[in-house]
Structure formats: structure tokens, C-alpha cells
Amino acid sequence: MFKTFFLSELKYTLKQPMVYIFIFILALMEFFATVSDNVQVGGAIGNVYRNSPYTITIHVTVFCVFSLLMAVAFFNNAALRDHNNEFNEILFTTPLSKPGYFFGRFLGALVVSTLPLLGVFIGMLLGTYMNSIFGWMDTERFGDFYLETFINNYLLFILPNMFLAGSVIFAMANKWKSTIISFVGGLVIIVAYIVSGSLMSDVDNETIAALSDIFGINTYFLETKYFTPIEKNTISPGFSGLLFKNRLLWTAVGAIILMISYFSFSFKTKNKKVKKQKVKNSDKETVFALPNLNPTFNAATNWIQFKSFFYTNFLSIVKSVTFKILFLFCIIILVVDLSQGFEFMGLQSYPLTYKLIDSIKDNTNLFTIIILIFFSGELIWRDRDSKINEVVDATSHTSFISMAAKALSLVCITSILNLFFILIGIIYQLLNGFTRIELDVYLLDFFYENFALYIVFGGIMIMIQVLSSNKYIGYFISVLVLLVWEIILNILDINSNMLDIGGGSSIFYSDMNGFGPGLKSTLWFNLYWILLSVIGLLIAGALWNRGSKSSLLSRIKTARKEVPKSYRGFIAILSVIWLGVAGFVYYNTQVLNPYRSNDTEEQLMAEFEKKYSKYKEAVHPKVTDAKYYIDIFPNKRDIHVKADIKLTNESNQAIDSLHFFNKEGWDTKLNIPNAKPVYKDSTYLYTIYKLSKPLQPGQSIVMKLDNKFITKGFKNSIGNTMIINNGTFFNNGDILPAMGYNDNYEISDNNTRKKYDLEPKERTPELSSELSELHNRNYINNGESDFINVETIISTVKEQTAIAPGSLIKKWEENGRDYYHYKTDTPSLNFYSFMSADYELKKRKWNGIDIEVYYDEKHPENVDMMLDAVERSLAYYTKNFGPYFHKQCRIIEFPRYASFAQAFPGTMPYSEAIGFIINLEDETENNVVDAVIAHEMAHQWWAHQVIGANMQGSTLMSESFSEYSSLMTMKNMTENPMKMREFIKYDHDRYLRGRSGEREKELPLYKVENQQYIHYGKGSVILYALQDYIGEAKVNLAMKNFLEEYRYKKPPYPTSLDFIRHLEPQVPDSLKYLVTDWFKEITLYDNRLKEANYKKLDNGKYEVTLEIESSKIKSDSLGNETKANINDWIDVGFFMDDDEERLFSQKRIKFNKESTSITMQLDSLPVKAAIDPRHILIDRVYKDNIKSISLEK
Amino acid sequence: MSTLKITNLSKTYPNGVKALDNVNLELENGMFGLLGPNGAGKSSLMRTLATLQEADSGTATLDDIDILNNPAELRKVLGYLPQEFGVYPRITAEQLLTHLAILKGITNAKERKELVNYLLDKVNLYEKRNKSVKGFSGGMKQRVGIAQALIGNPKLIIVDEPTAGLDPGERNRFYNLLADVGKEVIVILSTHIVDDVRELCTKMAIMNLGEIVYHGSPQSAIDDLENKVFRKIVSREDLQNYANDYKVISNKMVGGQPLIHVFSEVHPQNGFEQVAPNLEDVFFSKINTSNVLV
């Protein structure tokens, strides 16, 4: 009996598509989580293998929670199917065995509900396998598989969790016999779990926390807290320890719930309250007469038939359970995502409309596509599946009407979903008190992107289903077309969006520049695909299998006979229009704006190196003066540049030829006195000019440059995002041809280099103190120039303001355009930007310096705070490092095509995405917006006044110094030292995360090779700690001395060794080890507070005993770690509150052995104790440094 | 008065089965019975007439409508109830009929509502019009099917084995309904139940192996067999001998013993007694020309 029910349950469910859809969804999500960093499940993967047992387990546990909703469907069905089909009365009167029925059904559902999670394994295996072929990710980030991982995960997480959740749902379904209540129950479990997870994270007792997690996720986290990467890569979760106890505990709870449900289960239905049916007498008496009918078949009939088809199809989707589950799933994912807000480095962005649009797309697009695929099959095969096809087919309607109605109902369902998500977005904005709701942006974005996508996919999916001989073949082909086709294009290295179904250049909304440069292209691509989709639908209408099933061939024959001329004519006309559109798109995206595929690009780079690297050593004159005449035409997106560039031979040999490497997309004309082009390569835009009279050392010539950027038509991709309607932003490097051989154009990845027989390339030249040619080049200009004067006359349309480096000397109007004349006040790095947009301007004066913020009218909120931040930076830096040489400090907003801020001489372009839209209303203290400004302001000293030679360690003196300076401005306005811990936490994280993702080698700080995690992350932490150990004034003095030696100096440029030379005198002998540990070697700490106990003394004081483990780890550049003897000064301190805000009785103590016991007498009893309470040392795991103090037993 | 004319209609399936073998028929208004054993080609013929299947050769016309080449025109005047009539899930009887009425060109909403109500009443489902059709019993579903076949003003109604699964009461009601409409239009009723045809049809055809083996009125078929059918109760062991010696039309068990009917121009004696032929005898004599035991 048990077996019968068990097997029938399995058979029944396995015949339904639902379980396969779920497997597919999870496999797909896991696939992307495996091969892409954009999809993260339960946090970033980090430095373990992407398919490590650890990663798999985390993914499985997280998916377990989300697949509960799927489990609801299975368990609810198992409990209620007979009831809903009103079969129960028949079934339950037969001599059934109750346990057989009850447990048969339950276990059947249990087995089925674990199946979707196998999709995780499938996705992971598939992802790993496919990656080994296509190499989306470095294959070294994948390791071996262990069968044990899969089995143990199934037995430890999937099965027990489904059992527990299933017993609850099954019990609820049996009790209340309502699908809705079951679903709500499932939701409640998920929500309760997520909420309790955040509550439990405060629980100090790890055992209790580990046992109380009903799904064992946090238990697993706890068990693996101290796992090294190697352990994470090899050890699967096992049947021991807390995890196993947790699993036994909750399985037992599940069993108890199931037993209670079993004993209260009865075949008898309770006496329901019978609703009295209203007696409708009127019905009985109605006399029905056959009306006089006038069947009509004309255009109006078509329309009414279309509506009726639409209505029935639409309803059938809305009422389907699969749809409801997918719908709920989307909403949960979206709401969970929104509930986290739009975090940016500990701050929240304003919930701008485009942020919500992005969130909606990221979270729900996968589901709407699945809905499209699934229901295209359902709708097409619905008549046949319901066995009503012959009746419907024999009625007088055009097949196309029916096809179109199906397509439209798909489009409508997905559109309504999308509009619903938009509504959620708007509600979210309002709940957050944000009232700048841009309904037009929501709707236009929907219209431009998703709506078009739905039409295209809807039409194409329907055509596929019509042409397929059964539903599942149709699904198979649909998935092939959507996913596999993409992969094939990838392999063939075809990038044209004309072949990528539904493809087009993307639109990217920015408050400054609207939908941006991709809009035109997007609209044309939409037209191209929608026409194709309609043609597909028309063909589907013609080939619709009306009547008995017949082969495609015979359907084509039938169509030839039956399809009316007008219909064929319509297809023909549409096809002609489509061909026209296709031609136009082709002309624009391939002829007017050709592009290279990745492979071609790579090949070209390799050839370039082989062909021209012989000129690597050619000596060039330096740019010593520049004058620009720039005309910006934002509406046409054109730029005309004329420039007079003074070239001076600063070498000690005569130069007889000049090498140029022109910029792609620019029409460049060079006019060099006494020079003739002798070589021109139109592929690489490499030209060589021969000087009739060699340029002698010390001699100069003025080169005239005429450079035009003309935007033509539209591109395959989004196109140029520098030269745009509002917010044009480019720098001198974008417009000037590069001088000589440019090794930036070489392939940098050594594996790729091997493919083309190129020697491995060093990331950065090695640090050396011996002066060489390398010291003559700073790492930004690489020898092309040093510090120069720049003068610019720049014009733009009247609505906009154009900005160039230096002081504005004059502004005038000419030919309806505004002209500006700028000139630098002091020689600066040959590295500056030109911008033009419709700006608001707010300014203030500080000690004769103009502080200006140029911003978009939509973003006035933070401008005053930005001015304050600039002022604070100027104050601190001028006081501690020396004068500021420019007469202005400009912050200039630019659209969010990039999200950075950058320091140019006296100006700071600042992306709208990172500063202007952050909500600072409740921020009383300093924050990351200030920090970014302070960092970029610091670059005016660190990079623009002194800059390192082009070799290892140079970014220490620009990026690390700036980050440190920025921290100092904050430190000086922060009263509570604990506040700083929050700031440097980001730097700690950045470093630790970065080093685990290092692909070549980690280097000590003084040899950093432009590695961001080192120069930003580690550099700031080290310098911050250093000032804590030797004093802020000492560090600043070392930096100032270094600056003064090299400020605005001609080459040779300094190196990190020069800084250390200035630093060492400032460090007391007792702390000299810090310079070695922190700058010259890679050192990590592993501090732990094992025990913290107190007892009350008779004198009213408290004696606190701390058991501390402390070790120091040295790492080589490959990450091999060895323990070093500890002999270090480390802080020990206490907190008077749970939130660790009130630091109390901090002491710096010398540790010289691994285990130390410290006893202290304190006047009052603190709540927590900590080693390194302010987190200034780089600790592998910081969380274990702090512990609540408990009474000594 | 409409005329349905079928000329030389043939259809061979890809697997070689001859579903229709040179079928010729001419029908006028009234109930037309199409008898035949399972697999005789009845459904193929019906589906071909209902524009749901192609024929290999031949023609079929309803008045001046060329059914095979202009199916769209025929569909405007067609009522069709297939052998297997299923329904959509999650839709009520009224919604389903309304949808089908629209597909059949009843575009006037008021007319449509009256029509649907009228039909629902006719098939005794008016009370249940707001119930999901999926939950209906087989008989109730079949009644919905009949209702939809009557929508519009069909000139040709094709019903394929309509009474399977109906209880006797429902069956009667169904036939009354058909008889009502059958006076003014052509109704083709395919069945393998002989009684249905006898009770309802003025004209009939018997199909076997894709061919029309008889075409005429039921009565004249019976008349043809007058004085030529004899019966006898035989023992099981002798059954095979009788089959060899006589043209056995049929045998069925009566009280545990085989009762055989044989066809003979003269009285076969030997314990046979003459019986008045019925349509069943006609049916079996027409399809059982090879004289094997059936």
C-alpha cells in the first residue's frame, strides 16, 4: 500500500513539467554563479575554487531556502490532490491503510522536492565543464570534484531541510486543506528564517547559535570559520560535530511534527458548514428561445475572436500554479534585494528611478524569460493537451488571429508583471520618502528594453513551438536558441547584435544624459527584431497545425493551398521592410561603425607588438607646452580639436624621426615643420615622420594638430560614452596621438601572450635605486612629458558650460556659441580633462582659492557638503604637506557611464553614481563621499606635485598617500576613535579580498605594481597604523620632507625607496621592525581572544583575565604562509557597551609568545574585551578578537 | 436544402493503411448514419469533412463549397463534435461556449448570450453554467460538446460517436436534440451502435476498411435481407463447422450457448429457424463478407 502511493506520487509529479522547470531554473542560476562573478549566491566566492566543496555547500544551503517555495507546491499537491479533485470520497471509502497513504504520499513528495536542488549540482558541473572549454574564467580557479560533496550535501542539507519544511507544509495542508495557506506557510518559514538569521547573529554563544539554525546554514559557517583555502577546497561537510548534531535535532523536530500530523489525520472530512445556496427561482422560470442568429465573418469578427482568444489564453496563464509560484518567487527576490537598499560603502544611495529599474531587471528578467518560454509551449499545445483542438480548429477563424492572441497574452502577462514590479519600485521609493519618481523613465525604459524583448521572444518562442512536433522539443529548441546560440556566437567570436536573438546595444539611463548614446541603436535593433518576430508569427499562423497532426512538410503543402494571397502579400511586404531595416542596421553597425571581435583585437595587438616593438627604444622629444582650440558639438556628438604642441628634445642625442600612434575613431592631421610622413600604417594608425633637419638636444619644434571626432549613425554597441549630449568628458590622452611605440597596447595576460609566441611581460619594471632611463619617466606620462603649461580655448553650445584646466581668463559669445579661455597657473602633469555639460555652479572662496562644484540640476543635495569636504582637505593638506599651487579646486559631475572620481590638475571629475546621489541627510559625521573628495584632493599633492618613476612601488606615493591623507582628514574631525574602525574596515576587506583574488603575485607594499588592493587597501591600513604607532606628525613630516625634495621637479623621479629614506629617521628604534614587516614584507596577524573572565574584588574593582593567542604570519608572493615569531606591540582594550562604541582602558602591550594570559584591574566592569580593539592591524579573522566578558567560574 | 457530395475520396496514411478508399456519397438534409466497425475509416471521413485532415484525391462539396480546397468557407457552416471532446481547465461552461460562439461568428453580444443560455438549457446544464467544465462528468462534458456543435446556423453537423459514455436518459435527450435540428440541416452521425442509426436515421452508409459497403435507407437494407436470415443455437464445439458450411453473419452468446445468424437465399433446414432481419444483421452481413466468426 505504501509502495503504491509512494510510486504513484512519484509518477504523477514526474509527469508534470513543474519539477523540470525548477531543476532548470536552479541549474541555470548555479551555472551563472559558477562561471560569472556577476551572479553571487551567498556572497562572493573569493579565493577558494569556484567549484570547491565549500562553495558548493554554501550554494546548496542558500538555494535550499529559496526552493522551499517549490517544495510547498509538491507537498501541498501530495496532501490535497485527492481532495481538490473530489476523489477523496471515493478513495477514502476504500479499505485504505492510513500509514500507507499518509507516508507514501509524504515520502513521494519528499523525494520529488529534493530533485530541483540537484539542479545546483548540474549547474555547477556544467559550468565547470563549459568553462574548461570556453575559458570565461581562469581555469585555475576550478579544482577537483568530490562525489562525497554531492552525497553529503544531499544527506546533510537537501534531504533534512526538505524533510523539515515538508513536514510543516504537509501538516498545514492536511489541517487546513488550502493551497493558499500552504503557500503563505512556506513564505512565513522563509521570512522567519531570514529574520531570525539576523537576530541570531548577535548571539554570543556559538553552540546555541549553531544548533538553533533550522537549516544548518550558519552552523556550517561556524564550522568552517577557520578553514584555510586548502581546507575549503578539499573538505566536504561531514557527519560529525555541531553540524551533524544540528541536523539530527531538526530532523527529529520534523519527525515529531509529521507524527502529530499523522495522528490527527483522518480520512473523514469534517462537517463543513454548508452554505445555503440561494434559491434562484427566476432561473427556473426563464424561457430560453433560440435567438435569430446572424453569424458574420468580417474584420470586426476577427477582432472579437482575437479578444476572446486573448482572454482565454491570458486567464489560463494567470490561473496556473506554475505562474503563481514564479510570480511569488520574483517578488520575494525583488523585495529581499530592495530591502537591503542601495548600499555604497556603508551609505545608502537615494532610491533613484534608474537604480530601481536596474534592480528590477537584475532580479526578475530571468523569471520573465522562463515564463515566456514555458507559457509559449503551454499556450500553443493547450488546445491539444485539453483535447479541444478539433473543435476549435473546425471553427471559422484565421490561425494567425489565434497565434497573435497567444503572443499578445504572453507579452501582456510579462508586461503586467513588469508594471507590477515598477509599482513595487514606486512604493519602495515613497516608503523611503523619495519623491522624485520618474514615471516616464520607468515606462520608457520598459518600453525600450523589456517590452521589446517580450515581443521578440514571445513571437519567436511561439514560432518555435508551432514548428515543433511536440511541446518538449519546442522547449528544447527554445532553450537552445536562447542560451546555446549565445554560446555558439561566443565561440565563433561573432559580436553582431543582428545575430544575437533580441540583441541590441544597451541603454543606460543617467540623470545627466538620459537614455544615452545607445538609444538610437536600441530603437533600430528593436524594430529589426520586432519585425522579424511578427514575420515569425505570421509564418507560424500559416503553418499552424490545424486538425490532425501532420508533418511540417505536409503543413507547408497545405499552407501553399490555403493561405490567401493577401496574407502572403503581407508576409512579403513585411519581409521587404525587414530587409530594408536590416540593411540600414547593417550599414550603420558594420559599415559606418565597424568594430573588431575580441579575437581579431587580440590578434591585432599581437601583430602590433611583433611589428613595432623594435621602435621601443626610439628616442622622442617631450611635450613641453600645449595650446588647444576645442569645439564641442554635444548635439551632434562631434568634436573638433586644433592644437599647437611644442616638442622639445630633452635627450642628449639628435632625433631624426617622430613616431605617432593615432587614436582610433579620430580623423587626425599632423602638420610638423620640416617633416614628411615616410611611413603610414592604416591598420594601426602608426605613422613615422622624417625630419629634414634632425632635432638637436635642447631644440624645440611646434607641431600643429587637427583632429576631428565625428559621430556617424549608430553602433552595434552602446557607442562612445565620452562624447555625448550632456556630460562630455575626455582627457588629453583621448585626443592626442601617442608618441612612439606604446606598450600599453601590448597584450598583458601572459597566457594569451604565450598563444601568440610572445615573451612573458612584466607587469611593472622592477624597483631599483640605481638611476636609469626608467627614473626619467613618471608612471603617468611614461616619458612623453613632465610638468607643462596648458592653455585652452574651448567652445560649446550655449546651454552648456565647457571646462578645461586652469583659470578662466575670458568668456565670450561667437556665432551663437560660448567660448572659454582657460590657462593653467602652474606647470602641471600633462594629464587633464575637458568637459562640457549643462551645469549648475556653486562656489566658495578659501584663502584665495576658488572652490567650485559643477553639478546637474537634479543633484543639489550634497553640494554644500562637498564644498566643506574640499575646504577641510585644503586646510589639512596645506598645513601638513605644503602649499596648493592652483587657483581653483573644481568638482565636476559626469554621467554614470563610469563610477569613479579622478584628480586632474585643479579639477576633479566626479561620477554622478558615487557622490551626488548618496543620501547624506542623516550623516552628521564624515562619510565616504567626503573620503573620496579628500582622496582626490590629496592627489593634488600626491601625484600632481610629486609623482613616482614608472616602476614598482610608485603608487604607494600617490594612491596610498592619498588614501592615508583622506583618512587623516576624517580622523581629525572624528571624536570617537571607534568610528574610524568602520572606515578602515573597508580597506581591510579590500586588501584581504584582493589578495585572495590575486592571479600573479602579491608584492610587499613598497613594491606594489599598480595593484589596487595593495595600494588602496593595504597602503591605507599600514599608513594609518603607522601614524598610530609613531605619531601622526612624524608620518606627515616624513611625507612632507619627501615632497619637498621632489615637488614639481624634472626627472629623475623618486621611488618608494626615496620615501623610506625619509621615513626611517622618524621611526624610533623600538619600532623599526614595522618598516620591515609592513612595507618590505607581507605580514599578517592572527590574534584571538580565547577567554575573557572577570571576578569582583573586595576593593570594589574588577579583575579581568584575558587568554590571548597571538601570532604573526609572513606570506611570500605566492601566498605560502609561514609563522614568524611574535615580538610585537599590540593594543588590548575594553568596551563599555555592546555596540563597541565606548572604548575603555586601552593599553599597548608587547606580545612575545603565542599564548598570553593578561590580568588587569579595572574600576568598572566592561561588557567586552578585545585584542586590537580599533582594528589597526591586518588580521586574517578579526571577528574573534572580541569577546563578551563573563563571570569567572 | 443542402447537398453534400463526396466523390472518389481516398486517403492512405503514411503507414500504408487505407483510411478512405474511393468513397462516394451524396447526402441531403436529414440525419445520416455512418456505421462501421472500429477502424473502418469513419473518423477519417468525418475529419476530412470537418476540414481537419487532407485527402489524397477526390472531392467533397457542400452545395457550392469545395471543402477540400476552401476549408475556411465550410468552417462557417459547420458544427463538429469530435470523438474525444475535451475542455480547458479552469474555465466555466458558459465561458467555454461563449468563446466557441465567438469563433463561430456570433459577434453580437446579446445574441450570443441568448444563444449560450438557450443551448445550456437545451442540454440541461443551465444550472451548472458557472461551474468549471473540467469537473463535469463524462456525460455532462459530452452535452457541452453537443451544445457547441449546434452553435451558429450550421448547414452541416458532424458528430463522431456522440453517445459513448452517456447513460440511456442522456442518450435519448441527445437524440431528440439532434432530431430537432436534423430536419433542416445535414447531420452526419458516426457510430458503431446499430440501434442509434435505426432509431434516428433515414439514410445510412456502412463503412468497412475505408470503403462504403452499403449506402441507402436502413429499411431497404433490412428489406433486402427479408427471408434470408436464419438462426440457431449451436454448441461451441460445432461453431467452426457451421462457419465453414454457412454464411455466418454473427454469433452471440445467449444463455451461455452461441446463437448464430446465417445468411441464406433458401432455408438451410438443419434446425435453423427464420428470423426477421434487423439492422444488426445488415451491418454484420455487410462487413463480414469473408464469413469469419465475429
Check CB contact under 8 Å for B90 and A289: no
Mean pLDDT of A1117-1123: 80
The residue with greater pLDDT, B226 or A870, is A870
Cell numbers found for residue A56 = 558548493
Per-range mean pLDDT, top range of A387-401, A538-552, B183-197? A387-401
A319 in B contact zone (CB under 8 Å): yes
A290 in B contact zone (CB under 8 Å): yes
Task: With cut-offs at 50, 70 and 90, classify the pLDDT of residue B226.
Answer: confident
Please tell me the distance from the alpha carbon of residue A410 to that of residue A419, in angstroms, as a whole number: 14
Is the pLDDT at A579 greater than 90? The verdict is: yes
Cβ contacts of A541 on chain B, cutoff 8 Å? none
Q: What confidence tens digit (pLDDT) does each residue in A486-531 have?
A: 777 877 788 899 998 888 888 899 999 999 899 999 999 999 999 9
Nearest to A9 by CA among A80, A95, A70, A90: A80
Q: What confidence tens digit (pLDDT) does each residue in A813-853 have?
A: 999 999 999 999 999 999 999 999 999 999 999 999 999 99
Mean pLDDT of A543-567: 82
Mean pLDDT of A155-181: 87
Check CB contact under 8 Å for B52 and A392: no
Nearest by CB: A316 against B52, B90, B121? B90
Cβ contacts of B75 on chain A, cutoff 8 Å? 394-396
Q: Is B246 left (phi over 0), alpha (psi -120 to 50) or beta?
A: beta
Task: With cut-offs at 50, 70 and 90, classify the pLDDT of residue A85.
Answer: low
- The DSSP secondary-structure symbol of A481 reads I
- The DSSP secondary-structure symbol of A916 reads I
Environment class of A1051 (CB within 10 Å of its CB; exposed 0-12, middle 13-18, buried 19+): middle
Nearest by CB: A395 against B104, B126, B127? B104
Domains and their CATH numbers in chain A: 2-264 (no CATH), 302-592 (no CATH), 617-740+781-942 (2.60.40.1730), 1082-1193 (2.60.40.1840)
Angle at A293 between CA A290 and CA A295, to 5 degrees: 145
Please tell me the distance from the alpha carbon of residue A1140 to that of residue B124, in angstroms, as a whole number: 78
A553 in B contact zone (CB under 8 Å): no
Task: With cut-offs at 50, 70 and 90, classify the pLDDT of residue A269.
Answer: low
Nearest by CB: A394 against B52, B102, B121? B52
Cell numbers found for residue A241 = 560535530
Q: Is B58 left (phi over 0), alpha (psi -120 to 50) or beta?
A: left
Question: In 10 A of CB A986, how many CB atoms?
Answer: 17
Please tell me the distance from the alpha carbon of residue A181 to that of residue A176, in angstroms, as a whole number: 7
Q: Where are the alpha helices (DSSP H) in A769-843?
A: none
Q: From the centroid of its chain, how far is CA A64?
A: 24
The pLDDT of residue B175 is 80
Mean pLDDT of A1130-1148: 91
Beta strands across the sheet bearing A801-803: A728-731, A833-837, A801-803
Check CB contact under 8 Å for B88 and A382: yes
Cβ contacts of B50 on chain A, cutoff 8 Å? 390, 394, 547
Beta strands across the sheet bearing A1143-1151: A1143-1151, A1128-1135, A1168-1171, A1186-1188
A301 in B contact zone (CB under 8 Å): yes
Mean pLDDT of A430-435: 92
H or E element, residue A1171:
strand A1168-1171
- The DSSP secondary-structure symbol of B41 reads S
Nearest to B21 by CA among B9, B33, B29: B9
Q: Is A241 left (phi over 0), alpha (psi -120 to 50) or beta?
A: left
Question: Which pTM does this prediction carry?
Answer: 0.82
Is the pLDDT at A87 greater than 70? The verdict is: no
A409, A416 Cβ separation under 8 angstroms:
no
H or E element, residue A688:
strand A686-695
Cell numbers found for residue B260 = 448464430
A391 in B contact zone (CB under 8 Å): yes
Please tell me the distance from the alpha carbon of residue A1067 to that of residue B255, in angstroms, as a whole number: 121
Q: What confidence tens digit (pLDDT) does each residue in A349-399 have?
A: 899 999 999 999 988 888 888 889 889 998 999 898 888 988 999 888 888
Is the pLDDT at A38 greater than 80? The verdict is: no
Mean pLDDT of A37-50: 70
Task: With cut-offs at 50, 70 and 90, classify the pLDDT of residue A1081.
Answer: very high
Cβ contacts of B81 on chain A, cutoff 8 Å? 391
CATH topology of domain B3-216: Rossmann fold (3.40.50)
Check CB contact under 8 Å for A386 and B87: yes
Nearest to A544 by CA among A411, A407, A409: A407
Q: What confidence tens digit (pLDDT) does each residue in B44-93 have?
A: 999 999 988 888 899 999 999 999 888 889 999 999 998 888 888 888 99
Please tell me the distance from the alpha carbon of residue B39 to that of residue A520, in angstroms, as a whole number: 62
Rg from Cα positions in chain B: 21
Is the pLDDT at A203 greater than 60? The verdict is: no
Nearest by CB: A289 against B102, B118, B153? B118
A288: closest chain B residue by CA = B118
The pLDDT of residue A274 is 46
The pLDDT of residue A91 is 56
Is the pLDDT at A184 greater than 80? The verdict is: no
Cβ contacts of A297 on chain B, cutoff 8 Å? 76, 105
Lowest mean pLDDT across A93-102, A130-139, A241-250, A395-404: A93-102
Check CB contact under 8 Å for A391 and B82: yes
Cell numbers found for residue A1043 = 615632497
Nearest to A978 by CA among A1178, A1175, A1189, A1188: A1175
Q: Give the mean pLDDT of chain A.
A: 88
Rg from Cα positions in chain A: 35
Q: What confidence tens digit (pLDDT) does each residue in A70-80 have?
A: 888 888 888 88
Q: Percent of chain B scored above 90 by pLDDT?
A: 26
Q: CA-CA distances (angstroms) from residue A421 to A318, A365, A441, A458, A509?
A: 16, 11, 14, 20, 18
Task: Give which of A284, A323, A391 to mutate to test B binding, by max B Cβ within 10 Å.
Answer: A391
Lowest mean pLDDT across A104-108, A180-184, A447-451, A753-757: A180-184
